[in-house]
Amino acid sequence: MSKIVLKAGREKSLQRHHPWVFSGAIERVEGHPASGETVEIRSAQGGFLGWGAYSPESQISARVWDWREGVRIDREFFANRVRRAVAHREELLAAGATPAARLVHGEADGLPGVVIDRFADWIVVQLTSAGAWRWRDDIASVVTEVTGLPHVFERSDADVLALEGLAPRVAALAGSEPPKAIGIEEHGLKFEVDPRHGHKTGFYLDQRDNRARLRALSHGREVLDCFCYTGGFTVSALAGGAAKVTSIDSSGDAIAAARRHVRQNGFQEERSELLEGDVFALLRKFRDQARKFDLIVLDPPKFAPTAAHAEKAARAYKDINLWALKLLRPGGMLFTFSCSGGVPRELFQKIVAGAATDAGVDVRVLQHLGASIDHPVVLNFPEGEYLKGLICQA
């Protein structure tokens, strides 16, 4: 069995059960472990710290599977982890006619680099670490065994794969290829998921609870939904009784999907204005036109995948919030989000505060928002809290 031996004094984070071992913490690697191979992790004094998956191409050289020396990392290990994660979701989420939920959420479920989503009768898996790739076939067979669903599709095409030295992979792992559109239901609203080409695994499940919050606050308001994608917030606002919703996305395909979702849920199209274009440019245009809104949603793509991108991302977040705040009517509300792992919650709030100052608007925070309940964060791994949100009132 190959080993990773840490430098003296670098074992403290692992003793606190933080699951990442960075390359700079390693004194030496004993043996010749292949990418994704399970290795022992030991302190400079020889003490056992955990079993990890080795990743020679990444700055994160190992991700911990388990902290107990007597545990074996084998198919049964993954079966137990997936079984436990699915059981937790059954306790947390009310059963729906067409379930859509995250079943496994990486480190929070003890499976670094493994994301498993369910869309109705289909399972979509995203594997983003060398260790997850090595156990791909076992993960696929385990999830069919635990859920009883035969179709498993892999969407391992996230940008972070390059950091692991892995090439994108999109293919069926078990059963048949998924259809282009899988119908799901969320809080009584109907959506279609494209698991092959949609963002992430096809749909932003992490915003489920926040869409419901928006719905509760939309009645009679004129709403602006920026980076609307396929219209999750748009449809939720309409369901909440919004007077009108203007939605913007740079993707024509996303706008077309949003329009279908508006129609499928039976809302009058004159209440929905769907615009294909650059959000930054259109916000400036709305300012020049003196347009105003009662509620604005900012849910941009990831501006900072790592902390190294935080400074550049901060400028983009400040600009987008500045323009949005200038478009709010007095008493209006801003739902603003960051899904950038490289921008912590405290920094994001400071960015929004700076934007408010520059916009000349006094803003108060009504509520802090995060990912849906099936996207947990373990306390010893704060990096898992990638989605941060604020409800602000001008």
Tokens of 73: 């990392």
Does the residue 224 lie in any domain?
A: yes
Q: Domain range spanning residue 209? A: 204-393
Whole-number CA gyration radius for the chain:
22
- Residue 95's pLDDT is what? 59
* CATH code at position 156: 3.30.750.80
* CATH code at position 382: 3.40.50.150
383 and 248 housed in the same domain: yes
For the whole model, what pTM was predicted? 0.93
**pLDDT category, 290, cuts 50, 70, 90?**
very high
Domain end call among 148, 182, 216? 182
Domain end call among 132, 147, 182? 182
- Residue 90's pLDDT is what? 87
* CATH code at position 49: 2.30.130.10
Does the residue 196 lie in any domain?
A: no
Does the residue 282 lie in any domain?
A: yes
361 and 240 housed in the same domain: yes
Does the residue 125 lie in any domain?
A: yes
**pLDDT category, 298, cuts 50, 70, 90?**
very high
156 and 214 housed in the same domain: no
Q: Rounded to 10 degrees, what is the CA torsion of 125, 126, 129, 135?
A: 20
- Residue 160's pLDDT is what? 87
Does the residue 194 lie in any domain?
A: no
pLDDT digits (tens, 9 = 90+) for 163-206: 899 999 999 999 999 999 999 999 999 999 999 999 999 999 99
Count of domains forming the chain: 3
pLDDT above 70 as % of the chain: 97
Coil, strand or helix: which one is 289?
coil
pLDDT at 277 over 90: yes
Averaged pLDDT score across all residues of the chain = 94
Does the residue 121 lie in any domain?
A: yes
More confident residue, 8 or 93: 8
Does the residue 187 lie in any domain?
A: no
Q: Active-site residue among 226, 228, 339, 392? A: 339
236 and 318 housed in the same domain: yes
- The candidate with the shortest Cα–Cα distance to 202, out of 139, 137, 126, is 126
The Cα angle at residue 208 between residues 352 and 266, in degrees rounded to 5: 110
pLDDT digits (tens, 9 = 90+) for 198-243: 999 999 999 999 999 999 999 999 999 999 999 999 999 999 999 9
First to last CA, the chain: 59
228 is catalytic: no
pLDDT digits (tens, 9 = 90+) for 350-392: 999 999 999 999 999 999 999 999 999 999 999 899 999 999 9
Q: Are 75 and 138 in contact (CB under 8 A)?
A: yes
Q: What are phi and psi of 269, to 5 degrees?
A: -65, -25
Coil, strand or helix: which one is 59?
coil
243 and 373 housed in the same domain: yes
178 and 219 housed in the same domain: no
33 and 161 housed in the same domain: no
Tokens of 263: 């129609």
Domain end call among 150, 182, 214? 182
- Residue 301's pLDDT is what? 86
CA torsion sign for 61, 86, 117, 239 is negative
Does the residue 193 lie in any domain?
A: no
CA distance 19 to 17: 6
